[in-house]
Structure formats: C-alpha cells, structure tokens
Structure 1
C-alpha cells in the first residue's frame, strides 16, 4: 500500500507559482523537494515566439489527476503538486508546474521527471504559438 499523497492536481486559468507548489509538498519527513517549472520561452524551431495560448479538453483536469495518482502509487512516500495553465501566456509565464517531495532525492527526481513527462504526453492540452512574424502554429493537435 502506497503512503504517497497527491496534494493538488489539475488545470488552471490562474497563474501558477513554483514556490507555492514547493512549499505545499514540503514536509518534516521529506529530505528532498524537487520542482519543475515549464515556462514560455521566446523561440521555437528557430523562430521568435511572441506569446502562447493553451487550450484544454474538459477531461484534462481528470487526466492530470489520474496521472498524479499513478505516480503516487508507483513511488512510496512521495507528496505531489502538479498543474498546467490554460489561456493566454506571455514569455516567462509558467505553463506547467510540478513539485514532488520524498524522503530521498533519487526518488523525488525520478517521480517528478516521470510526472512531467507523462503529463506532457497524455494530458489533452494544446498549445497555440504566436510568432513575431505574425504566423500562428498549433502544437499537439493532429490534422
């Protein structure tokens, strides 16, 4: 039986704060707190990005919650906080925040990496990139 806890998971239209997530997962019995902040960068594929917009399927929050639960079952004794932004974002804004606390750093790093990679692979969230040359490109949308 896992002793892990998912403290927060979901999708947010409000700004995300890595420091808040790290503070929430921290605990006296955890010797490692690992965080990931995926932020909007000013370039992609050799082109300058002006801003992004994220759209999510209505199931995205549930999918992220399910993923967090899967990671919690796989790694014993961890504490998880994870959320993905939707809506318009500017350069430097956090788009995906994840924090994991554990008794030891190896498990915290492994769980956080798997959490982020799985959210990016499975959550039905699509990115619309607005380039400085006026072009627009969707990422994560087939056809």
Structure 2
C-alpha cells in the first residue's frame, strides 16, 4: 500500500472490483476508500481492526503478525470474490482488504476493509462477513505481547481444517 493513490493509479484501477493487500508498512484507509469509490454506490462501509492496549484484563504492548503470504493472499481474494458474487447481498460493487504483518504498535490498524455498495445494509454485512471469514480461514497468526511477559494468544476463530 504505502503512499497516495495517484491519478494514474485511479485510471489503472477503473474497472477493477476487488483489491487484496498484505503489507509490513502502516495501512491507509483513505487509499482503500479511493480504490472502492464508485459513483453508482450510495455507501462506502469500512472496518478498521486496531491494536488495543488491553485484552482480557492484561496490558497489551503490541501485536505481531505472521503469515504464509501466498496462501493468505489467495484466501483473502477468494473471500472478496464470494462477497462480490452475492454472499452478503447483490448490491456490493467493489471491495478491498488489507492486512498488516510484523509489529503493529498500539492504536495502529492491523486489518482494513472497504466496501462500496448500493445501500448500507449489504456494506455492513460484507464487512462482518469478510472479517469473520478472514479470521476463520486465512493463514495469518497473531502474537500479542503482554506487559506481564506472556506472549501468545491463540487465534480462537481460526480452524486449520478449513480450506
């Protein structure tokens, strides 16, 4: 991701309907929103998953993500295709998802989703479907670094038997 979307990039993405990114750099919701912008849509719905400073009563210092990137990108692309094919209603026209790997400091985004839809209900449904399915099926693992020295939090949603 990184950097602003230029006029040339806007012309290149015209006609595209989905974008998937994995990055070691900070993510930009503004960039995703520009990518999915569509004058035929009445809503751009977004989701931003950020690093919070606590979890289940423990102080969190940061998150660390790792992934098998080729498979993660393939699965993320498949999830977005399901959304475009009607998994959340017929009004979704464009969708983008970005996931950050490596160290994600407090208050920074680890996952961003932007959905352009004809109406807001299918946009909200698409964001929920994407994040829930991403957590369940995409091989991206999170390590939470706690102030008390503990470091690993199992991904409760991920099912390794699901492909």
Fold conserved between structures, TM > 0.5: yes
Q: Secondary structure of 1:121's match?
A: helix
What residue number does 2:37 align with?
26
**Candidates 83, 92, 103, aligned match of 2:118:** 103
When the two chains are superposed, the root-mean-square deviation of aligned CA atoms in Å is 2.0
- Structure 2 unaligned regions, length at least 5: 1-15
What is the CA–CA distance in structure 1 between the aligned matches of 2:62 and 2:107, rounded to whole Å?
Answer: 9
Higher relative contact order (CA 8 A, sep 6+): 1
Contact 1:82–1:98 (CA<8 Å) still a contact in 2?
yes
After the TM superposition, which residues 56-135 of structure 1 pair with which residues of structure 2 at under 5 Å, given as runs?
A: 56-58=67-69, 59-74=71-86, 75-76=89-90, 77-135=92-150
Q: Alpha-carbon deviations, 1:41-87, whole Å to 9, x = none? A: 11111100001100102311111111111111124342101011111
Using the TM superposition, name which of 76-85 and 118-127 deviates more: 76-85
What's the CA shift for 1:139?
A: 2.4
Q: Counterpart of 2:152 in 1: which secondary structure?
A: strand
Q: Unpaired runs of 5+ in structure 1?
A: none
Q: 1:12 aligns with which of 23, 29, 49?
A: 23
* Structure with greater strand percent: 1
TM normalised by structure 1 equals: 0.89
Tell me which residue corresponds to 1:49: 60
Secondary structure at the residue paired with 2:26?
coil
TM-aligned CA deviation for residue 23 of structure 1:
2.1
Aligned residues: 139
Checking the alignment, whether the CA contact within 8 Å between 2:17 and 2:36 is kept in structure 1 is no
